């Protein structure tokens, strides 16, 4: 018999409602798996076993009382990226600055998970303040890719992707500012969804770049993605960027056949420097979508070349503003041995922030400074508008755009830490989606000769999650969901 940690979320739900297993048994199986595997992977920063077992017992009481009251998440063990506030459980953002910060409230997405009976196993590792593409910028330890422990899992939601691939949680939440869900999902062979900006509440998400950040899901298959999206989506008056729009039942999008669907192939995404194995897998996946009835048409996103440059002005500028609150006074790291207030600020911020966060704060502060605002930030915002228009024009010709997630498979730990520009370029295919505010999903579409996962990225217009899920589901029908998970 398969281990309980081998089942998808929806398979576990069936076992639970038929009372073939209990939520406590499932939770204990995951906690045992974490004990055995996570010392090698390093996906978790904080474990909450007592809380998890209490939530599992509550789920079992719900199932015993009236099974019809159970939701698809009742008794399901989840992991949470450590940038999302959890009441009474420390939330570090992968930083020394918040090493001992314990929020007094839950993020909206946590409230919604709890209302649906989910079981929280713990908080997951990440690049500090979500700034990075490899989870090597965590102040505590790097996370390793379960498919090859010498390689990165991607970032900044590396712990969220690695935990799902290593089967140390049934699903997880991450955040995506420039590809931080989709890129690690691709590298770890899981499904990662970045919803439309404003679809999921950001209340309780510690801010990196407020106009780009979006909470999303990492799951084992597309069905689980739809189920989790049903729970976390929806309007929240506590988030001024949340959009008051009804949430459909995303599972109704999981239908076979793509007749009438046009898939756009952006010529700017198939460039020199794209790993041949990645390109082959992506093109094979596009052929698989064609076999389900889709029509393929080339489209152009002409301002793609400027996306990385625009992003690395806008995101650091917003980070400079958002992270100014960490001054050692109200909360966060308080150093000792300072001479005066200015000295305290300097020491708190120099000791509390890591090198990558400092680099981005300085870039952002410079680009917002007097005399440079128009030359940098204003110009980048104008480029952002052009990128949004590119997508609008493309979606007049197609329903969904298909492209690679990343130019390569997962690279080796330490390979790019000395070259920030090369690290930034690993997000070249994901950044435009955040700048435009549209939804994107990464779906596993193959393995390299080295046995490393490759993902297909699908993009749609604003609130086009249903189209993405239909296309992703059909790809999964042809290729089959992953079954040969890494053994670690």
| Angle formed at CA 439 by CA 170 and CA 276, multiple of 5 degrees | 80
Q: Note every long-range contact of 282-286, with CB atoms under 8 Å and residues 24 or more positions apart, other chains counting.
A: 282/402, 282/403, 282/404, 282/445, 282/454, 282/456, 284/445, 284/446, 285/402, 285/443, 285/445, 285/446, 285/456, 285/475, 285/479, 286/402, 286/456
Contacts for 87 with CB less than 8 Å, ≥ 6 apart: 103, 104, 105, 106, 110
Given the residues 22, 156, 217, 442, select the one marked as catalytic.
156
Q: Cα–Cα–Cα angle for 362, 366, 367, nearest 5°?
A: 120
CA nearest to 247, candidates 175, 198, 193, 202: 198
Instruction: Assess whether 320 carries a catalytic annotation.
Output: no
User: Cα 260 from chain centroid?
Assistant: 30
Distance CA 255, CA 300 (A): 29
Q: Please identify which of the residues 134, 175, 180, 242 carries the catalytic annotation.
A: 180
Task: Give me the sheet containing 119-124, strands edge to edge.
Answer: 44-47, 119-124, 77-81, 171-175, 215-219, 191-194, 440-447, 453-459, 400-404, 262-266, 295-299
Distance CA 240, CA 127 (A): 26
Residue that has been written with the tokens 């908080």 in this structure = 123
Contact 294, 262 (CB under 8 A): yes
- Residue 268: how many other CB atoms lie within 10 Å: 18
- Per DSSP, 265 falls in state E
Look up 350 and say whether it is catalytic: no
Residue 156 is among the residues annotated as catalytic for this protein: yes
CB atoms within 10 A of CB 218: 34
Per DSSP, the residues of 172-189 read EEEE-SSSTTHHHHHHHT
Strand partners, 453: 447
Contact 231, 116 (CB under 8 A): yes
Contacts of 339 (CB under 8 A, 6+ apart): none
- Residues facing 219 on adjacent strands: 191
Q: 385 with 452: CB under 8 angstroms?
A: no
Known catalytic residues are: 81, 156, 180
């Amino acid at each position: 018999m398969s281990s309980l940690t081998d089942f998808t979320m929806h398979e576990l739900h069936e076992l639970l409602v038929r009372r073939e297993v209990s939520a406590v048994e499932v939770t204990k199986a995951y906690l045992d798996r974490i004990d055995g595997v996570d010392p090698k992977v390093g996906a978790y920063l904080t474990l909450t076993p007592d809380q998890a077992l209490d939530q599992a017992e509550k789920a079992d009481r719900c199932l015993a009382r009236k099974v019809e009251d159970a939701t698809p998440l009742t008794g399901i063990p989840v992991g949470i990226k450590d940038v999302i506030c959890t009441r009474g459980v420390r939330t570090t953002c992968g930083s020394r600055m918040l090493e001992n910060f314990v929020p007094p409230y839950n993020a909206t997405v946590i409230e919604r998970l709890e209302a649906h009976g989910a079981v929280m196993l713990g908080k997951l590792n990440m690049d500090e303040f979500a700034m990075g593409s490899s989870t090597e910028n965590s102040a505590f330890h790097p996370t390793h890719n379960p498919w090859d422990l010498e390689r990165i899992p991607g970032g900044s939601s590396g712990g969220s992707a690695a935990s799902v691939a290593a089967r140390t949680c049934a699903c997880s939440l991450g955040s995506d500012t420039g590809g931080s869900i989709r890129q690690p999902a691709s590298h770890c062979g899981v499904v990662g969804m970045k919803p439309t900006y404003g679809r999921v509440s950001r209340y309780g998400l510690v801010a990196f770049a407020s106009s780009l950040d979006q909470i999303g899901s990492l799951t084992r298959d597309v069905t689980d993605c739809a189920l989790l999206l049903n729970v976390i989506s929806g309007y929240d008056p506590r988030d001024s960027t949340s959009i008051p729009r009804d949430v459909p039942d995303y599972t109704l999008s999981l239908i076979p056949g793509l007749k009438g669907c046009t898939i756009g192939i952006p010529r700017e995404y198939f460039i020199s420097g794209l790993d041949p194995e990645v390109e082959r897998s992506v093109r094979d996946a596009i052929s698989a979508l064609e076999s389900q009835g889709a029509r393929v048409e080339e489209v152009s996103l002409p301002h793609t070349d400027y996306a990385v440059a625009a992003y690395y002005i806008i995101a650091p500028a917003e980070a400079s503003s958002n992270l100014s609150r960490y001054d050692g006074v109200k909360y966060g790291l308080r150093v000792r041995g300072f001479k005066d207030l200015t000295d305290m600020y300097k020491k708190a911020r120099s000791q509390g922030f890591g090198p990558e966060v400092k680099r981005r704060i300085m870039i952002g502060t410079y680009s917002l400074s007097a005399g440079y605002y128009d030359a940098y930030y204003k110009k980048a915002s104008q480029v952002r508008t052009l990128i949004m228009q590119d997508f609008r024009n493309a979606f007049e010709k197609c329903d969904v755009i298909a492209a690679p997630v990343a130019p390569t498979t997962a690279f080796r730990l330490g390979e790019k830490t000395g070259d920030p520009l090369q690290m930034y370029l690993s997000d070249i295919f994901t950044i435009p989606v955040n700048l435009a505010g549209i939804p994107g999903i990464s779906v596993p579409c193959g393995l390299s000769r080295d046995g490393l996962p490759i993902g297909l990225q699908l993009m749609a217009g604003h609130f086009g999650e249903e189209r993405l899920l239909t296309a992703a589901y059909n790809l999964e029908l042809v290729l089959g969901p992953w079954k040969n998970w890494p053994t670690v």
